[in-house]
Structure 1
Amino acid sequence: MKAMHRLCATLVLLATAQTAAADCGDAPGPCEIDSGTYHVILPEGPPKGAIMFLHGYGGNGMGSLGRNGWAGKALARGYAVIGPDGDPMEGREGRSWSFHPNRPKVRDETAFLTAVRDDAAARFGLDADSMVLAGFSIGGSMTHYLACAAPEAFAAYMPVGGAFWRPHPDTCAGPVKLLHTHGWTDSTVPLEGRVIGGRDVNDPQAFVQGDVFYAMQLWRQANGCVQLAPDRFVTEGPFMRRAWDRCTPGSALEFALFPGGHRVPDGWIDMALDWREGL
């Protein structure tokens, strides 16, 4: 009789979880918390882990979770994928993230994204402590800024095609586990950055992208690495990678370049998850 009661209780819990997933996930709408919304796709069976991915400029959380792209490969490897929605952009469609230096902040993004982490963990049985944060373009920039301000918020960081903006941060809290990926021929977010919406870097109205190589220097400092030059190089395969190993115990820092432009490259998710699982 007790076994029957346990079975019934288990079935009720499973039904509740399936209803939550249907009402707060792929369809029909997003998950809601006080400070915003997010979307979730779940693998078959118990999740191996979870990736929170921040969309690019003008996008939204659901647009990042296409099953025919990298998100589908993450699902196949057993990972849940979470797509938070950025702030609605004034006067135009789409969303973005609020982090730019010397500009008013629309929302406390660190508080929002950590709240999404905790809410998704509670709703879907995910491990908040092992969740990783990734993002593309301006979502990659947001990933860098959150890692800089609150490195302990996520287990690792995997930004693509976006880093700090000028004026660069002077320092970051640390250490972190971070893998930055960037296209060698990216002209939207060049490795050296560019000026947007102004005449030059001294125009107070301009938004000025930062230098990715400076970002990596900042992370070497935050991680307490003993030298500027990388300790390891990987020159085979689709990514040219450099890694710094002689750093604070428990930290990890790698930089991956690929021969392409402003995009999440083919093979990124497998490379990134292999890196994450190997830490």
Structure 2
Amino acid sequence: MKPIRLLLLVLFLLPAAASATNAQTCGGDTPCKIGNREYNILLPDGWDGVTPLPVMMHFHAFLRRGKTVVNHPRIGVETKPRGVMLIAPSAQNRAWRFWQDAPADIAFADAILADVAKRYPVDPTQIYVSGFSFGAAMAWRYACARGDKIAGLMTMSGTIPQTTPCPNPPDRVRHVHGLQDIWMSLPRGPGHDATNAVALWRKTFGCGQGRITQDYEIRAGIGATHLVWDNCSQGRSVTLDVHSGGHFIPEGWLGVQLDGLMAKSQD
């Protein structure tokens, strides 16, 4: 009787085992679900499974999704070796609703961060936000609403109107934009002033005169200028990289910004 009982036991347990195998945990290309919406996660290299993780939440460009971000050669490749968990929300209909002062996607981003904190140990003092193109504009909106909860904002080739009120700004902002960008044009000021691209932050932070600290190539044959405003109120700071190219994510730029922001957070 024992062999028969053992066989019955195995047959009884098979459906449960199969169900557990099919119920994959989210991560990488497998999205995490929040209601009828989703986001993707990319864990860093060599994480011990215990140490609280810094987080970078990146808002994707128009018509993209979270899966694009975690597989992007100039985004995830920067977070993985730095011990940073990458979080990539997916917009409804692949477009962020950043045109309003209080878009519904702010609440969605809040829900993602809360959900991630239930799944993983997260360092709440090191929540960074980034975005490219339409995603950069969404990141600006989020930073203006939740600035007290994030350790730094890093955006590429996208802004919101520079007169937008910013009631709750972050302490540190890093932005890069191309002079030849035809998709989300750099918002020039009087006299074609390129520094107007960060006028919102300079005004909100009460910054003084900025200064050029470096001229370099951001991509082969594409020159760039690095400007810094580190004389703002309450220790806040803004940097702007203006280059002669168009609409793209510069290779290595996110990594450089993360290194600087993370070092500052650990001071």
1:112 positional shift:
1.2
CA change 1:22–1:275 in 2 (3 A) is farther
CA contact (8 A) 1:118 1:128 kept: no
Structure 1 or 2, whichever has the larger Rg, is: 2
CA contact (8 A) 1:24 1:30 kept: yes
Q: What's the C-alpha RMSD, in Å, of the aligned pairs?
A: 2.6
CA distances 1:29-55 after superposition (whole Å, capped 9, x unpaired):
311124731000112333752211100
1:178 positional shift:
0.6
State the distance in 1 between where 2:139 and 2:194 align: 13
CA change 1:155–1:34 in 2 (3 A) is farther
1:249 positional shift:
2.6
Which structure is higher in helix share?
Answer: 2
Q: Partner amino acid for 1:69?
A: R
Q: Partner amino acid for 2:234?
A: P
Structure 2 stretches lacking a partner, 5+ long: 1-20, 219-223
State the distance in 2 between where 1:76 and 1:171 align: 33
Residue 125 (str. 1) matches residue 121 (str. 2): yes
1:174 positional shift:
3.0
State the distance in 2 between where 1:100 and 1:178 align: 20
CA change 1:123–1:241 in 2 (3 A) is same
CA distances 1:45-66 after superposition (whole Å, capped 9, x unpaired):
3375221110011111111111
State the distance in 2 between where 1:83 and 1:212 align: 30
- Candidates 216, 220, 243, aligned match of 2:202: 220
CA change 1:23–1:212 in 2 (3 A) is farther
Which residue in the other structure is 2:28 paired with? 26
1:182 positional shift:
1.0
State the distance in 1 between where 2:259 and 2:212 align: 16
- Using the aligned pairs only, state the percent identity: 28
CA contact (8 A) 2:146 2:170 kept: no
Residue 185 (str. 1) matches residue 167 (str. 2): no
Q: Partner amino acid for 1:129?
A: T
Which residue in the other structure is 1:149 paired with? 145
1:98 positional shift:
0.9
Q: 1:37 is paired with a residue of what secondary structure?
A: strand
Q: 1:269 is paired with a residue of what secondary structure?
A: helix
CA change 1:191–1:68 in 2 (3 A) is closer
Residue 230 (str. 1) matches residue 207 (str. 2): no
Q: 2:86 is paired with a residue of what secondary structure?
A: strand
CA change 1:34–1:240 in 2 (3 A) is same
Which residue in the other structure is 1:85 paired with? 90
CA change 1:240–1:212 in 2 (3 A) is closer
**With structure 2 as the length reference, what TM-score do the two structures score?**
0.76
State the distance in 2 between where 1:32 and 1:39 align: 9
CA change 1:81–1:73 in 2 (3 A) is same
**With structure 1 as the length reference, what TM-score do the two structures score?**
0.73
Structure 1 stretches lacking a partner, 5+ long: 1-18, 89-94, 194-210
